[in-house]
Amino acid sequence: MAPSDPYVTVAPDPHHCWFQFSLKTMFVVVTLLSLFSTWLAIELHRKAVPSRRNQLRHILIAMQNYFDVHGSFPYHAGGSRNALFLLRPYLTVDEFVWDESLRKWDDFPVEYLNDKSGRRGSSQVILVSKPVGERTSAFLGEADSTLFGHDFPMLPDDSLHRSWETSFLGSFRTIDNFLVANEALFASWEQTHSGSGYGESWTMTSHGRMLTSASSGGLSIAYEYYGGSLVRCEVTTPTGVIKESVTTDHLGCIIELSREPENWQSLLP
């Protein structure tokens, strides 16, 4: 039939959008965008972590300067944020944001051991900060201005441990790089792990981030783990073997220590 027939309607050519593409092309584009987003997130995290670490380092130095002047660490009855405000004369104003009206420092996620005594053990943890995006590690600052990272097992339930950072405050770091809950337990740990009487230098062996053995002079220690947490130590001295059972909390901090045999102290120099 001729197109000129008045009873025939000729459909217009279909309109093709310029952005049409195949399903295969769409998958390629989405994959590339996902890879780019992942790379961008990693880069932002990589840049944020050193910044957080450097800021903590500056705070520890300011703490030491404050102690040199006042003979104690900052304390404020209003809480740790107000206590940290006392460091302002020792930190550059441009580096941190201060709340002048409330006289506190409120712009940085850090927890501080706001202890009324104002005095600390040299290896006691007084500052804690969570690295950006991390759930199983933290930056810890000691009273002697040492800054270090600490890995711990995955938190079992965020709703129960929203303030987990404060659990580290007041703990002590041992010479073999473990955290113990309090000063009395730290002193007990040092009896068999300080190397006192065997020499000053230590030789240590690790598997990944876990310490597996340490030796100093006539003393040697083997470490055993379960589920990423320390559970046992075997301390060998020239006169015998001391077996230690260790209990840690959900953050990997040692909270209990027992030893065998009962006369274990007689095996020490």
How confident is the model at residue 217, as a pLDDT?
80
Identify whether the C-beta of residue 216 lies closer than 8 Å to the C-beta of residue 222: no
pLDDT (tens digit, 9 = 90+) per residue, 197-221?
Answer: 555 678 899 988 889 999 888 889 9
How confident is the model at residue 9, as a pLDDT?
54
How far lies 137's CA from each of 50, 107, 193, in Å?
Answer: 14, 21, 24
E strand intervals along 27-168:
98-99, 104-105, 110-112, 125-129, 137-142, 147-151
Question: Residue 100 pairs with which residues in a beta bridge?
Answer: none
CA 124 centroid distance within chain: 15
Q: Using 50, 70 and 90 to split pLDDT, how confident is the model at 159?
A: very low
How far lies 12's CA from each of 2, 15, 20, 26, 120, in Å?
Answer: 17, 9, 19, 29, 86
Mean pLDDT of 91-110: 64
**What is the reported pTM?**
0.73
From first CA to last CA, the distance across the chain in angstroms is 114
How confident is the model at residue 19, as a pLDDT?
54
CA angle 134, 58, 183 (to 5 degrees): 70
pLDDT (tens digit, 9 = 90+) per residue, 226-253?
Answer: 988 899 999 999 999 999 999 998 888 9
Q: Locate 20 and state its tokens.
A: 């049409």
Number of alpha carbons in the 13 Å side-chain half-sphere of residue 178: 32
